[in-house]
Structures are given as C-alpha cells and as structure tokens.
Structure 1
Amino acid sequence: MPNNPTLHLSIGHALKTVGKQAEAIDAYRGAYRVAPDFGDAYWSLANLKTYRFEEAEIEGMREYEAASTTKLVDRYHLCFALGKALEDRGQYAESFDYYERGNRLKREEVRYDWTRIDKEMKLQIEHCTPALFAANQGSGCRAPDPIFIVGLPRAGSTLLEQILASHSMVEGTMELPNILALAHRIDGRRRIGEEARYPANLAELTADELTGFGEAYVRDTAIHRKLGTPHFIDKMPNNFRHIGLISLILPNAKIIDARRDPMSCCFSGFKQLFAEGQEFTYGLEEIGHYYRGYVDLMAHWNDVLPGRVLRVDYADVVGDLETQVRRILDHVGLPFEQACLDFHQSERAVRTPSSEQVRQPIFTSGLDQWQHYDPWLAPLRAALGPQAEAHTP
C-alpha cells in the first residue's frame, strides 16, 4: 500500500460503507501506521461504534493529543476517539474530559451562533401559516416518490432508513442536500446583516414555480436512485427546518420525524464528530437550545399540517419493533414485508456513523448511556429547560 494516510482512510471508509468491517479496520490502522498522529484514523476506528481500542493504541493517542506539534484537526479527532475509547472502558470522568476538549476545539473552529438558527426556526413558525398552505392547495409536483426522514442526528434516523430501505418498493439514498440548497436559493444573495427573505417570500411563489421546484427535486435526485423502486429516502435530518417548503413543492411526499429522548439524543450528538455540518452539536448549551427549537418547530408543523408528519420515537422502535414498522409502512402507504423486521440482514451500503449498528438486531443498550455522564451535564439540562425532565409529548 502507498505511503499516503488519506488514501488508507478513504479505502477504510469505502469498506465500512459496504459492511466489510474487518477490512476497514485494517485500512484505518494502516493510516495511522503511516502517520502516527493522524487523528482521523483513530476517530474512524472509534466511529465504527463496535471497535475496541487496545491499550497501546490508547496510550499512543494520549501522547499525540498532548504533543505541541499535533495539528488542531488531528487533536480534536484524537479527543473524540479517546472519549469513545475511555467510555467503552467505563472511565467516564476522563472520557468526558476528552469529549469536552474535542468539542471545545471544534466549536472554536466552526464559530457556531445558536441564536441565528433559533431565529430561522422562529421565522418558519411566523410565516408558514395555515393561510399559506390553503392558498397553495393543489400546487406542487404530485410525485409520491420521496420519503423524508427528518429530526436531529443520532436520533435513530439511520435505523428507520434501514427498516424502510429493506422494503422491496423503497430505496435508501443518503442525506441529500437538495432541499437545503433550494431554501438557500429562494432566500437569494444577501449582504451581511440583511434580513432573510425566506421563508417570508414563500407566499410570493406562483403555482408554476412551486411545481417546477418539486419536479426539479425529483429530477435532480434521480442520480442517487439505482434500483428503480417507486419510492426513495432522503435522510437529511436538517430538512425538518423546511417541512413547509417540502409540503408546498411535493405535497404527496411522506415525512417521518425520528425522535429520541432529549438527554439521550443531545449527548449522543455531543459525542459525535461529524464529517461536515451539524455545528450545533459542539457544545452542551448549543445542542440543548437547538433541540428546544426543533421540538417547537415540529409542534408547529403538526398544528398547521395535521397528519403530514409521522413521529417515530426511538424508544418505541426498540420496545416494539413490529408495531412501529407497521405504523411506518401504513404512513408511507406500503404493504407489510417481513424484510423490514429483518433489516439487519440487508446488504445495502450505509454511509452514516450508525452503519455498523444497523447491521445488527435491535439493541437497548444505547437508550440511557448518557446517564453515566449526568454529573457533567448541568449546562445541557439548563439549556433544555423543561424538555430535560421528560420525553417530549
């Protein structure tokens, strides 16, 4: 193999995607053998979720993370990997220290402002009214092909995708950027500090424009469809912020809200180093505020678009898989197939951090892992407010 750690890493990612875990592990190890302080190699091993680090690997990670010569990007990758390695060993205090350090370093890099996103969500509530949807009834592209799975990352969306994509009439694709790009396009170019035009300007769009946007979405996403099935899944979680737009341009699309207990969901996001996006996850306060905004916005969609979105709770799926599978298929309008219960036997490629977990039968061990870290989660509880104490209704 060549002396290029990035190439080893890319090979590992490709092998992981198609379920060849042993070969992926060899490739990731090959990456850090070429470049011992290459943080992404260690994080990629941790991100398998099922890999357990050896003592020598942990000591090596500690050494490189502490070295003054280690680059910032490698340092925060090493921090997240050490957090996972020590969590698996039950060393929760030290594990949290590394998770917190990695998040702090990443947060300083992305410079996320939670108030801006909070304002964007409130604008959706303000402008996406019953009157808007009533005025545009009958508009949009009538294609029933798309199934949107929305919510927060680490809320069980990959599991729901795997269940649905095991159906003979559904294809899983990936987290498609098309809706986010369309919202950005409708908003138009703005100067710094200039007020957003979207979503207020949704009321200005004509029926032909709405139909055209929907047709373009179906046409542009066709490149990701390989199986010729009637339906496909768009698993971009952030699409929950644009359910109004989706409903206007694709009125026959189905939408599923993957919901997870607030503390569990938020802390799971805090532990995750994402390849891109999801900047709100790199701080306990930031992710708590984001979760509250998400709950408020989903409640709004349920009010103004009753029956449009099916909420599926992760704990309910774990507790009674068949009942939830039948609910999901009824919502999508598909007949029951046993393969949806046997989703872990699917050989489809999975690109998200949960790829190895969804190749196993349902397990309950992940529901309350956050409780090991409860002594350090006061900022999250404060940001969540009433949401922290009970599962949202």
Structure 2
Amino acid sequence: MNSPNLSTAENRLRQQARQCVDKQQWEAAQAALESLVVQVPDDATARLELADVLFQRGRLRESTAWMLRVAQRLPRDADFIIKVTQRLVAVGETLAARSCLDLLAQAPGLPPKWLVSQAHLRFMLGEIASARALMESAMAAGIDSPGEQHLYAMLLQFSGDIDRACTVLENCLKRWPHFGDAAMVLVNLRKQKPEANRLDFVQEQLRQLTRDSKDPGAMFVRAEFEYAQFKVLDDLKRHEEAWPALARCNALMHELNPYDAAGEAAVTDALMRLPAPDNQVGRAGSGPVFDGPVPIFIVGMPRSGTTLLDRMLSGHSQVVSAGEIIDFWRQLHWAADVTPARAQGLLQIIQHSADIDYAELGARYLRQTQWRAQGRACYIDKLPANIQMVAFIRRALPHAPILHMVRDPVDTCFSNLKAMFGNVSSYSYDLQALAHYYGQYARLVRHWHDHLPGAMLDVSYASLVRDPESTMRGVLEYCGLSLQENCLHPERNASPVATPSSAQVRESIHTRGLEQWRHYAKQLEPLRQAIGAPAVNAD
C-alpha cells in the first residue's frame, strides 16, 4: 500500500500535469507526467496522457512507443480501451489497434454506445463487414440517433445492400427532415428519375432553412441540401436549373473551407526538389522481392477512375482491395518523426527525407498492412493522394507496382467540382482553386515521369472503359499477373467498397462518365481556360 506522503505527491503531480496541459505548457506537462509514471509505473492513464503530450510536442516516435506500452497492459475499462485504440489508429499502429478491438469484443454485455464506437473504428480500419455487424447489434440494442442511422446506411451502401440503405435513409429523413447527410447519400444511391425523385422534399427543406446564417453548422446543412438539389436536377437533365444549385453549394463550402494555394504549391515545389534516386530504385520491380503479399498502389487525381480500376483489378483471384488506406502516409510520418499537420507536416518530412531509413519504412508499412491481403498474393492500396508519395514509395518499396489513373482534365475537374466531399478537399469548391490544384498535380506527374522514369504505369480511364480487355491485360502484366474474365466484370465483384462512387462501380463497364462536363460547358469555360492544354495524356 502506498504511504500517505506518496499519495499526496502523486495527486500533486496529476494536478500539476493537468494545469500544464490546460495552459498548453507541453514541456512542463511532460516533466510532471514522467515523474508520475516513475512513481506509479502501472498507471495506464498517466502513460496515455504522457503519450498525448509527446504527440503535442511533435515527438511522434516516443508518443507511439508509450501508446504501445499502454496497449500491452490495458485495464478492464471499455471507454479507456476505445481511447487507446483511437490513438493507435491515428498513428498507424493498426495491428495493435486491432488487438485492442479484439479484446473489447470479448467483453460481455457492452452498452450500445461502445458497440457504435467499435463500429466506427472497424470502419476506419476498412473492416466493413465487422463494422456493419457491430452497428446491427447496436441498433438491435436500441441505439438511435441521426448520426448512427447514417453510419449504418453508409455501411449497407459500402456492402452493396443499396435497397436497405435507401430504406434506412428514407426513414431517417421522415424523423429528421433537416438531416443533410442522409439527404445527400440518398440521392446519390440511385439515379433520380421523373417518376421517382426527391426534388420536392429537398426544395421544401431548403425553403425552411435559414438562408443568411453565418453559423458554420447551418451553412453546411444548407450546402448539403443545395448539393442534393443539384444531383436530382442533373439526373433529370434540367441542367440550367442544376448549375445554380451546385454553385450555391460550392460557394458555401468554399467559404467554410478556404483553399491554401500557397501551401499546395510549396508542397509541390518541395517534392520536385527531392534528390532523384538511382535508376535501380526508380523503377517498379527493380528491388528484391519481399516476403508475403505485394501491395499495388493506385494513385492519381480524385474522381479520375481509381475506384473502377480498383474494382476491376480486385476481380482477379490473386488480388484483394484494401480500399483507401492512409497507412503509407502514417508510416512515413513515423519514419521522419513528424506529427501529422497537413501541408506543413509533409514539408517537414521532405526536409528530413535524407535521414529516413527507407528499408525500415517499407518494413513497417508491410507489417501494418499485409494482413489486409486475406491470403491473396496482392492487395491494393488505393489512395489517389499517394501521387505525392511516389518517390517515397519507390525508395521504401521498390518492388511494389504503382498504377497512375489518367482521365481527361476537364472531366476530372468537373467530377471533383460536383462531388461534395464535405469539409475536406477544399480545392474542389471553387473553379480557380480547382484549376490551381490540378495544375500542381500535373506538374508533379510530369516531374515523376521525367525524374523517375518507369516508376509508375499510366492507365487511361478512356481506354479502360472503351477497350477494357487490352487495357487490363497491360495493367495485369505490369503487376505480374495474367488476365482473368472477372477483371472485365466489376459488377460481379461483391467485396465492400467505401468510396463516394461505391454504388456506380457495382455496374458493368460503361462510357457514361466521358465528357459529362459538356452539359455545363458555358459555366466551365473559365476552368477550361485556366487548365489550358491537357497536362497529361488522357488517351
């Protein structure tokens, strides 16, 4: 038993640490917590707080090490285990996070709120089937809120159960008619038709919503319903009415999420200043074959057809899709010992790039991701933003194929403009911002091709939908695989897909995605002029 004096000292240190954290005095908070951990080495809460403070100080490796120590000796406290798991997911310790969730799954009679927390975390890890099962248990236990109904509907959508997803969302909107998240997803799940559409409902909600409020929440909800109005009108081919709704949506979202053009350009400039590796590292397949499943990276602009390529490639019997995982970014941050901080974080990584142990980076990435292969020879890491990671991937994983999806510039940009990504992808809500972002992407692609020849294979979206057999034959040959019939039939692929186009890519291959922008050619002329001539070959 601790002596009274020791207990008093512990309480003093806890109070001191709490006060320092409240004042964001991180160095002093670290000192107090380190002293507390020495006095009470089994105190899991103090260890986790120390990990949080180290993270705030930018010491990612030390922070992660403390989190892992906490995960090895977890108390029987579901709320605490959830907190630990959230942090482990955020820093890329996927294996430890899954172990925490497996432990939590053994606890009998957990309240529904913890089932929902587990579902969120399984979803973040890309385990759609597990997340769906947890949500079904939570809902059977009485959990019921708009957000939880929305999450359940999304998991149904990603699983391919579109009818049930629609039913959940329709019931949700009957109870919470101003819930914009549900309205957006519902109109996206099916093409709206003259005889069956949600236009009257959406327009009635817009009439009821406050027009001039500057409250961010109210602005976001209005943007969601404006987007839903655009989607219905666009489906109904009422393009002259549709464009103003999209413009109002994007104006609201641009105000809420201003685009950092200078930051984006700074990242591109810094990436282009990276020293070129020798030729042996620059080409896919040039390094030694590593043990276990091979990752295949799909990169490019968002909305360029990466999900379609993913679905076709994962139709192969030796390939599975891991979805849009950000594991390489997380492991790169660990390797450079830089805490995530958007553009600023990547700039710091680039500054430290010469000191990174790329063999260790590659090994960490494989250790945290190869479980996703599910017994297959290859697994797909489909994250368009990894176009910025090409040089790092080539150094860390020289044997891994990188597929670069290429689509007509205006088609790509228009698809981004009408996607409504929420409070991310700030470039997509303004024509000039979109043109600038595309320009940075095109600059970087040219640079990779010039300075890392053979580092990635360009895959034309137009060729993929017009001549899928020969295009996929080339893709599979690049990946060391032979063509299989199912690769030409993405509609047969029953595996989950968690992207905005998850409903559309369950269809057979079609060419409807080509030149959709021409319906709005007049309104998009400033964008077309800003982009100029195609910067990458789309044919």
Q: Normalization by structure 2: what TM-score?
A: 0.67
Q: Provide the residue aligned with 2:146 in structure 1.
A: 5
Q: Distance in 1 between matches of 2:397 and 2:281?
A: 15
1:215 correspondence with 2:366: no
Match in the other structure for 1:156: 305
The more displaced of 62-71 and 101-110 is 62-71
* Cα pair 2:428 2:434 within 8 Å, conserved: yes
Q: Distance in 2 between matches of 1:319 and 1:352?
A: 23
1:34 aligns to what?
175
| Matching residue of 1:177 | 326
| In structure 2, C-alpha distance between the alignment counterparts of 1:354 and 1:175, rounded to whole Å | 13
Change (3 A) 1:224 1:384: same
Distance 1:8 1:349 in 2: 19
Q: 2:469 aligns with which of 311, 316, 322?
A: 322
Q: Partner amino acid for 2:364? A: A
Question: 299-308 vs 245-254, which deviates more?
Answer: 299-308
What SS class does the counterpart of residue 399 from structure 2 fall into?
coil
Q: Please report how far the alpha carbon of residue 276 of structure 1 lies from its aligned counterpart in structure 2 after TM superposition.
A: 5.8
Q: Is the alpha carbon distance of 1:326 and 1:131 closer, same or farther for their aligned partners in structure 2, counting shifts above 3 Å?
A: closer
Q: Of 198, 220, 228, which aligns to 2:349?
A: 198
Alpha-carbon distance change, 147 to 193 in structure 1, aligned in 2, over 3 angstroms: closer
How far does residue 112 in structure 1 lie from its aligned partner after superposition?
2.0
- Which string of whole-angstrom CA distances, capped at 9 and with x for unpartnered residues, describes residues 149-206 of structure 1? 001111100000001111111110111112223444527359998993332432233x
Report deviation, 1:236. 0.8
| Alignment check: 8 A CA contact 2:149 2:169 kept | yes
CA distance in 2, matches of 1:376, 1:195: 35
| Structure 1 residue aligned with 2:204 | 63
- Correspondence 1:306 to 2:456: no
Residues 281 and 287, structure 2, Cα contact 8 Å, conserved in 1 = no
Q: Deviations over 1:321-367 (max 9, x none)?
A: 10011011001011221111122111111111221222111111221
1:125 matched to which residue of 2? 272
1:95 aligns with 2:236: no
Quick check: 1:347 aligned with 2:488? no
The residue identity in structure 2 corresponding to 1:203 is A
Judge which range, 215-224 or 348-357, deviates more.
215-224
Q: Which stretch of structure 1 is more off in the superposition, 211-220 or 5-14?
A: 5-14
Question: C-alpha distance in 2, partners of 1:281/1:384?
Answer: 14
> CA contact under 8 A between 1:8 and 1:31: conserved in structure 2?
yes
Q: How big is the shift at 1:136?
A: 12
Structure 2 letter corresponding to 1:39: G
Secondary structure (helix, strand or coil) at the match of 1:127 reads coil
Question: Does the 8 Å CA contact 1:156/1:260 hold for their aligned counterparts?
Answer: yes
Shift of 1:132: 9.5
1:59-88 residue CA offsets vs partner (Å, 9 max, x unmatched) = 221232243448222111111111110001
Q: 2:158 aligns with which of 9, 17, 41?
A: 17
Contact 2:299 2:387 in 1 (8 A): yes
Deviation at 1:57, TM superposition (A): 2.8
SS of 1:336's partner is coil
**Alignment check: 8 A CA contact 2:153 2:166 kept:** yes
Structure 1 stretches lacking a partner, 5+ long: none
| Distance across 1 between alignment mates of 2:158 and 2:283 | 41
C-alpha contact 1:83 1:99 (8 A) present in aligned 2 = yes
Deviation string for 1:94-132 (max 9, x for gaps)?
211111111111122122212211221121111242469
In structure 2, what is the Cα distance between the partners aligned to 1:75 and 1:369? 25
Q: Which deviates the most, 245-254 or 66-75?
A: 66-75
SS class of match (1:198): helix
Residue 191 of structure 2 is matched in structure 1 by 50
Q: CA RMSD in A?
A: 2.9
- Unaligned runs of 5+ residues in structure 2 are 1-138, 212-217
* Contact 2:283–2:455 (8 Å) recurs in 1: no
Match of 1:113 among 260, 277, 297: 260
Identity of aligned residues (%): 31
Amino acid corresponding to residue 218 of structure 1 in structure 2: L
Change (3 A) 1:153 1:310: same
The structure showing larger relative contact order (alpha-carbon pairs under 8 Å, at least 6 residues apart) is 1
Q: Does the 8 Å CA contact 2:282/2:455 hold for their aligned counterparts?
A: no
Are the counterparts in 2 of residues 124 and 199 from structure 1 also a CA contact under 8 Å? yes
Change (3 A) 1:187 1:84: farther
Q: 1:147 to 1:59 in 2, by over 3 A?
A: same
Moved more, 4-13 or 266-275: 4-13
Q: In the alignment, which of 314, 317, 321 is matched to residue 165 of structure 1?
A: 314
Preserved contact between residue 333 and residue 340 of structure 2 (Cα < 8 Å): no
| Distance of 1:101 and 1:224 partners within structure 2 | 41
Cα distance in structure 2, aligned partners of 1:131 and 1:383: 36
Question: Which stretch shifts more, 292-301 or 50-59?
Answer: 50-59
**TM-score w.r.t. length of structure 1:** 0.90
Distance 1:387 1:265 in 2: 11
Three-state SS of the structure 1 residue aligned to 2:352 is helix
Aligned-partner Cα distance in 2 for 1:343–1:269: 22
Q: Where does residue 188 of structure 1 map in the other structure?
A: 338
Matched residues, number: 388
Larger mean Cα displacement after TM superposition, 260-269 or 182-191? 182-191
Corresponding residue of 1:245: 392
Q: Residue 116 of structure 2 corresponds to which residue in structure 1?
A: none
